[in-house]
């Protein structure tokens, strides 16, 4: 059994990622922390509890960072709706967040059983950065970290150069990438091209299964946003792909190990700078904080698996 701590800005694709992850028998969601990003951190916690209710997950939910370390708060209602779930969220949960903060929860769990917990972070990295400050040994205490964020090839979705999760809190991302933990970065190189197409959405729309039905409902708002950009009713699968790679690493068909830094000035804010000079060379590198950057995946196999597991 693999124990996973979610760290999320629970918007539409975070919710689909969480629902998907709950379908893997060998994965247990042990806890969730929430962070500002798509929606405020308290709203994200409400959304996590809604999704956990639907999936019958009883894990604690801790509200985390309400704002980035240095930058101003920026939310994304135009992409995810004012409530973060396309304004069609299921009824509020009767459960409450735990009262502990998300970084403290992370540190407590990691200390309690070194090497046991994996982290899946699909929002800005503020909680992970604060946890690293609270507990500098955190990289030795967690089993692995998988993040959705950044890009290896200088593409962006928030700015021409920056992916949203990294852009929201670039100072936090810098701390997280400088830490020597086993980290896999699932960025826009792979998530932008791993999409739900019209026929996939039709399958979701027809399914009475609770996970598929909720996905179909909340995706309407997400698709409205992407249609404005691409003129097609299709959408990328950012956070679900990161969850898929955590659960099934064989989805990765190409990756490289590289140091990752983050742009902090006005033009480069949130840009991940992936040192690709070793691309195609030996996989192992002696750089102190080399991380695995996913550059190609079996996208169609992933989408099929996602739809099947959601019940579509
Ligand atoms: O850039 C995509 C990421 O930003 C996803 O995690 C999405 O949920 C938003 O947080
Ligand atoms: Ca997210």
Render pLDDT for 133-149 as a digit per residue (tens, 0 to 9).
999 999 999 999 999 99
Instruction: Please give the angle made by the CA atoms of 140, 118 and 156, to the nearest 5 degrees.
Output: 100
Read off the pLDDT of each residue in 269-296 and give the average, rounded to a whole number. Answer: 79
pLDDT tier at 284 (50, 70, 90 boundaries)? Answer: low
Render pLDDT for 42-80 as a digit per residue (tens, 0 to 9).
999 999 999 999 999 999 999 999 999 999 999 999 999
Q: State which of 6, 79, 225, 239 you would mutate to test the pocket of ligand 1, scoring each by most atoms of that ligand within 8 A of its C-beta.
A: 239
pLDDT tier at 279 (50, 70, 90 boundaries)? Answer: low
What is the predicted pLDDT for the residue at 275?
87
What is the predicted pLDDT for the residue at 97?
98
pLDDT tier at 290 (50, 70, 90 boundaries)? Answer: confident
The string of DSSP letters for 181-207 reads: S-EEEE-HHHHTTSEE-HHHHHHHHH-
What is the predicted pLDDT for the residue at 306?
98
What does DSSP assign to residue 289? T
Model confidence at 283: pLDDT above 90: no
Average pLDDT, the chain: 96
What is the predicted pLDDT for the residue at 276?
80
304: part of which helix (H) or strand (E)?
Answer: helix 299-310
Which numbered atom of ligand 1 lies nearest the CA of 236?
Answer: 2
Across 133-182, the runs of DSSP E, i.e. the strands, are 144-148
The ligand 1 site (C-beta within 6 Å) comprises 9, 11, 13-14, 37-38, 122-123, 148, 157, 163-165, 238-239
Q: From CA 37, how far away is CA 122, in angstroms rounded?
A: 10
Render pLDDT for 152-188 as a digit per residue (tens, 0 to 9).
998 999 999 999 999 999 999 999 999 999 999 999 9
Render pLDDT for 198-235 as a digit per residue (tens, 0 to 9).
999 999 999 999 999 999 999 999 999 999 999 999 99
């Amino acid at each position: 059994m693999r124990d996973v701590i979610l760290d999320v800005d629970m918007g539409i694709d975070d919710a689909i990622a969480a629902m998907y992850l709950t379908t893997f028998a060998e994965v247990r969601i042990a806890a969730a922390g929430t962070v500002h990003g798509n929606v405020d951190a308290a709203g994200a916690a409400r959304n996590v509890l809604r999704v956990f209710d639907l999936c019958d997950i009883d894990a604690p939910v801790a509200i985390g960072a309400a704002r980035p370390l240095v930058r101003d708060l920026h939310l994304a209602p135009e992409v995810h709706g004012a409530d973060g779930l396309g304004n069609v969220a299921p009824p509020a949960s009767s459960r409450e967040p735990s009262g502990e903060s998300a970084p403290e929860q992370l540190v407590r769990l990691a200390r309690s059983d070194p090497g046991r917990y994996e982290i899946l972070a699909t929002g800005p990295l503020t909680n992970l950065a604060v946890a690293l400050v609270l507990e500098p040994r955190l990289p030795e205490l967690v089993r692995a970290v998988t993040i959705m964020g950044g890009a290896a090839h200088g593409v962006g979705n928030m700015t021409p150069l920056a992916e949203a999760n990294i852009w929201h809190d670039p100072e936090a991302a810098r701390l997280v990438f400088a830490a020597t933990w086993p980290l896999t970065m699932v960025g826009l190189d792979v998530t932008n091209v791993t999409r739900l197409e019209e026929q996939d959405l039709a399958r979701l729309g027809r399914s009475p299964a609770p996970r598929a039905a909720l996905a179909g409902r909340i995706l309407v708002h997400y698709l409205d946003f992407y249609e404005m950009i691409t003129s097609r009713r299709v959408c990328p699968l950012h956070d679900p792909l990161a969850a898929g790679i955590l659960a099934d690493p064989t989805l990765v068909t190409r990756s490289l190990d590289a140091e990752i830094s983050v742009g902090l000035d006005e033009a480069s804010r949130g840009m991940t700078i992936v040192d690709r000079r070793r691309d195609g060379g030996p996989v192992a590198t002696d750089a102190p904080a080399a991380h695995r950057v996913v550059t190609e995946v079996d996208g169609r196999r992933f989408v099929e698996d996602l739809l099947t597991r959601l019940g579509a």
